[in-house]
Amino acid sequence: METIDSIPISKIKRASKLVGTGAKVGVNYLKYYGSKLVKTENDAREQLNKDNAEDIYNSLKQLKGSALKVAQMLSMEKSIMPAAYVEKFSLSQFSVPPLSAPLVNKTFKTYFGKTPSEVFDEFNTHSTNAASIGQVHKAKKDGQELAVKIQYPGVSESISSDLKLVKPVALRILNISAKDSDKYFKEVEDKLMEETNYLLELEQSKEISEACKNIPNLLFPKYYDEFSSERIITMDWMTGVHLSEYTATPESGKKIGQAMWDFYMYQMHTLKKVHADPHPGNFLVSENDELIALDFGCMKIIPEDFYAPYFELIQKETLADEKLFQAKMLDLEIIKTSDSEEEVVFFSQMFHELLTAFAKPLQEEVFDFSNDQFFDEIAQLGEQYTKNTELRKMDANRGSKHFIYVNRTFFGLYSLMNMLQASDIKINNYKNL
């Protein structure tokens, strides 16, 4: 297996890596303009996306940290991202080159003060899972099998500079302007800083697993304070199949899907604090078809002044009342008091269309997430507005900063539910928990 012996830590080295990637992307565009002479626009654009996705991902996986985390976040945006980026960036969820054994030992000693062999009875220096911010190793102590997550060197220190470097790439991929986008990137930066604080993650993991322990068919590992630190977390080794590799039957898909849905709705509506990183790499399925939830580094607190208008906005009654709909849009900063009449009309129509599709599961008592027509409709709307030339002329940065992680949570959850082909899901079942 390919391993990494070092990670660029300094700003200069990390910037140089991305500058080199930018040069490759520039060459790809030159090839694209040339290929348009002999290929159709769609074929030429598809090849450009594939080449760029390959070069950008290969650079980010060497940098790891927040740069790779942004790729992971973008990989869940199936409704607005070109397929080539989704396919390539999705590898960042659970399959990237791990640190080599010597670097693991060095990193462990730096953060913990001891080598792994001095702490555990057994420790496998070859990781079982490597992602954007850290990698997991199997260990054993007093007969108990453990999972030890070690954070990559320099991740926390490079977040701010990394985001400045990847910001132009992210804006270009998402086709949005840089104007007024700072508040959104600050929200991402704050959340990434939290994700690198493993002591915070340890407390959040224990808090959520305790609060949600009564949800049927949902399991959590036990966490060990004595074997954890600011850069290392130790928990029970959980045996199961990664969600992305699990093949659900109609029965198991419904069972696991209901557990997944109840887990998120209980957090969203009861705790007002939600696991905002719903990608397949954070879930396993046990041999008894139970959902195992892992990794609580990214938790989003939902303030009441956002929660109330957000869920009122997507109610059928609100969508049917133009005046009420626009009032909630104003509360959520989707339309602004400074908007022209043209902008109010355009964005009201755009978001009404998007929300009417998005809110369908939340307006029903029972919903079938195996219905691909629902997901096709959302994808088509996303593609439609991504290519909308009128939208490109307007101030398209819309909405409260809280939308970033709440919307990410819902779209990620919808994607996981569809992956499970979960049908007959009781939408309000969380109220009975």
Q: Which of 277, 318, 278 lies closest to 298 in space, CA to CA? A: 277
3-state secondary structure 181-250: CHHHHHHHHHHHHHHCCHHHHHHHHHHHHHHCCCCCCEECCCECHHHCECCEEEEECCCCEEHHHCCCCH
Q: How far is CA 208 from the centre of its chain?
A: 18
Which pLDDT does position 48 carry in this prediction? 57
How far is C-alpha 206 from the geometric centre of its chain's CA atoms?
21
Which pLDDT does position 396 carry in this prediction? 65
> How far apart, in whole angstroms, are the C-alpha atoms of residue 47 and residue 49?
5
Q: For 199-247, write each residue's pLDDT tens digit.
A: 999 999 999 999 999 999 999 999 999 999 888 999 999 999 999 889 9
* Residue 275 φ/ψ, nearest 5 degrees: -70, 100
Question: Which amino acid makes up residue 131?
Answer: A
Amino acid occupying residue 235: M
Collapsed DSSP state (helix, strand, coil) of residue 134: strand
Residue 2's pLDDT is what?
Answer: 53
Per-residue model confidence (pLDDT) at position 253: 96
Per-residue pLDDT of the chain (433 residues; tens, 9 = 90+): 455 445 544 444 544 555 454 444 444 444 444 554 546 656 655 665 676 666 665 655 555 545 555 555 554 455 445 555 555 555 444 455 566 778 778 877 877 788 899 999 999 988 887 766 788 999 999 999 999 998 877 777 777 766 776 676 666 655 556 666 778 778 878 888 888 899 999 999 999 999 999 999 999 999 999 999 888 999 999 999 999 889 999 999 999 999 999 999 999 999 999 999 888 889 999 999 999 999 898 899 999 999 999 999 999 999 999 999 999 999 999 999 988 899 899 999 999 999 999 999 999 999 999 998 999 898 888 777 766 777 767 766 788 999 988 988 998 899 999 999 999 999 999 999 8
End-to-end CA distance of the chain: 44
**Cα–Cα separations (whole angstroms), residue 88 to 29, 50, 95, 383:** 19, 8, 11, 19
Contact 146, 236 (CB under 8 A): yes
Whole-angstrom distance, CA of residue 176 vs CA of residue 214:
42
pLDDT score, position 33:
46
Q: Tell me, what's the pLDDT at 65?
A: 46
151 to each of 4, 86, 104, 230, how far by Cα in Å? Answer: 14, 25, 10, 9
Residue identified by tokens 């080794």 is: 237
Q: Considering all CA atoms of the chain, what is the largest pairwise distance in Å, rounded to the nearest integer?
A: 69
- For position 186, what pLDDT does the model report? 83
Alpha-carbon span 145 to 141, nearest angstrom: 7
Q: Look at the pTM and tell me if it is higher than 0.85.
A: no
pLDDT in tens, 103-155: 778 877 877 788 899 999 999 988 887 766 788 999 999 999 999 998 877 77
